Amino acid sequence: MEYRKLGDTDLELSAITYGAFAIGGTMWGGNEKKDSIEAIHASLDHGISTLDTAPFYGFGLSEELIGEALKGKQRDKVQILNKFGLVWDGSNQGKGEHFFDMEENGKPVSIYKYASKENIIKEVEESLKRLNTDYIDLLQQHWPDSTTPISETMEAMETLIQQGKIRAAAVSNYSLDQLKEATQTFTPASNQVYYSMLNREIEKELVPYTINNKIGIIVYSPMERGLLSGKYFLQEKLKSTDHRNGYFSQFDLEKVKTLLANISPIAEEKNVSLAQLVLRWTTMQKGITVVLAGARNAEQAISNAAAMSFDLDTAELELIQSELDKI
């Protein structure tokens, strides 16, 4: 495994970071607790020292699973990346920006973006209890909240650093303009953003800015929620409650299928899976600090970690680029 410094902080994160969205179950059709715990343990055992979660993932369940999985582990050997700012239980008393509505266990739930100082402090205290820890390594604003000044959010996170409750503060899903505004108050350690072979928009302006300002980039959805693994072209069935049934429809699936077929010889030559090839390619892109990869069980976690066990040479990277240019 390779470990990388995050922005201008003293945090050293594993290049492949465990993404804990799926184990929370929300929007993913559920997951077995035993499998989730084993996935976390397998990640740690194979060099993935960094875990990324959020209160929204399973409405606290993902955090609780991480807290349980880390019992008996050396806390200073693990980096917990957490978030705040998605409120679902009505405790925001109608404040914040309405995001979307969904169902959980057959009941309607409204999700709000809410990043006031008061809410941040509240969420962090709740997260610390669920995670069974007394500090969070990196706290990230999950989504921008148009009803709260960015300066207020940045000031609150800076206060939490001073209190020792978090080691570093960051943002997620910020546009370039929002990131620039944030730095007027406090420079975030990183910006967690959507990036994959099929969506490289951040390369144009965001990545150059973060490089020049020593801000890290944490990437989510590098596998496009499993699409780039290729297995869904083998008629694998998704549960009816799995959000990916609709998510995959945004892509030209025939072009994606052709892309994977044309780069698969590289994977075969290296005796790795398509998923591992895609993950490794993502870690090698300019300005990318770490890449999130979810795993529902130990086998998937071990496979993700192994994505760092090989390299891609210039010719291989150029071949992949030529195929991506056709998308």
Phi/psi of residue 171, nearest 5 degrees: -130, 170
Token pair 């300019």 in the structure block, residue: 286
CATH for the 3-324 domain, from 3.30.413.10, 3.40.190.10, 3.60.15.10, 3.20.20.100: 3.20.20.100
8 Å CB contact between 102 and 59: no
Position 301 confidence tier, pLDDT thresholds 50, 70, 90: very high
Contact 292, 220 (CB under 8 A): yes
**Is 135 one of the annotated active-site residues of the chain?**
no
User: Rounded CA gap, 18 and 291, in Å?
Assistant: 9
Quote the pTM value.
0.93
- What confidence tens digit (pLDDT) does each residue in 242-273 have? 777 788 888 888 899 999 999 999 999 999 99
Is 103 or 26 the better-scoring residue by pLDDT? 103
* From 3, 18, 57, 194, active-site residue: 57
- The reported pLDDT for the residue numbered 317 is 98
What is the tens place of the pLDDT at every residue in 137-156?
999 999 999 999 999 999 99
What is the distance between the alpha carbons of residues 84 and 96, in angstroms, rounded to a whole number?
13
| Domain ranges, ordered by start, for the chain | 3-324
> From CA 139, how far away is CA 149, in angstroms rounded?
18
Say how far apart CA 159 and CA 101 lie, in whole Å: 32
